[in-house]
Amino acid sequence: MQALQRVADANGGTRASGTSGYEESARYVEEQLRAAGYAPARQAISFRGEGRGKPRVESFNILAETGGDAGRTIVVGAHLDSVKEGPGINDNASGVAAVLETARWLKEAGISPANRVRFAFWGGEEDGLYGSQHYVDELSQAEVRQTAANLNVDMAASPNGVRSVHDGDGSDYGHAGPDGSGAMEEIFFRYFRENALPAETTPFDGGSDYDAFLSAGIPGGGLFTGDVERKTQAQAQAYGGTAGKDLDPCYHEACDTIANTNPELLTEMSGALAYATAAYAMAKTG
């Protein structure tokens, strides 16, 4: 996150898709992946922003993968871009950090996944989920069937945040993901239970990169620490922080800097992501 803050500082305070800040962010991620032993590749995307007269934006996703059975591919992703108005350190350099550390940890721990893990850093998310949608659109029907799960991290260090997991089985919010999404929810909750960390569910509201995967029938889920919602008294008792204050008071603003993050919460959410990624990477069935 500090590295991406420096990138934003050197590029007009933003890392939005199509800008020099995004390009430098991508180079940093690629360098880290190569140093860990991966061979990252760019997947080009092109989109036009909403509204009349918006210019076409040329951008890209970054993909890097492990060995393992390609017939059971696990996509672990976070969006790399920020909004134009700010550096996007909680949203979503924090998610990028969690995915990048998980990728490095798999290599450093010497884990040889039974199933292929594909790490994805999406472009165009803030403009309309374009990067992840393009990725799913480019999959053949066979590749869709071979994608076993999508784990998504969008905001993992909200300064007044909570630990939340997407409601895969729909038991709390009534909108379940495809079969298998409930199992993903349970794996995340298992991690938090085993570490005596309170956690709660958050709905699939279509607002992040899991959406294209769910629409294609791919099981999905992930982690989120909150944006414009106000923390309740019950949440403040469970997680600390300040009741009545936004979970992220700098959401989509110029003040979403490194100072707008909770490092302890990031560590906990990153641990949950690594735990779930390893579980899916080594799963033989189901």
Q: What distance in Å separates the CA atoms of residue 175 and residue 167, rounded to the nearest whole number?
A: 8
The three-point CA angle 125-129-134 to 5° equals 115
Of 63, 57, 17, 67, the residue nearest 43 (C-alpha)? 63
Q: What distance in Å separates the CA atoms of residue 157 and residue 161, rounded to the nearest whole number?
A: 7
Is pLDDT above 70 for 286?
A: no
Question: In this predicted model, what pLDDT tens digit does every residue of 38-82 receive, in sequence order?
Answer: 999 999 999 987 667 788 999 999 999 999 999 999 999 999 999
Q: What's the token pair of residue 223?
A: 């982690």
The reported pLDDT for the residue numbered 12 is 98
Any catalytic annotation for residue 125?
yes
Q: Give the DSSP H/E element, type plus range, for residue 202.
A: strand 200-202
Point out the catalytic residue in the list 24, 65, 101, 125. Answer: 125
Q: Work out the pLDDT band at 122, boundaries 50, 70, 90.
A: very high
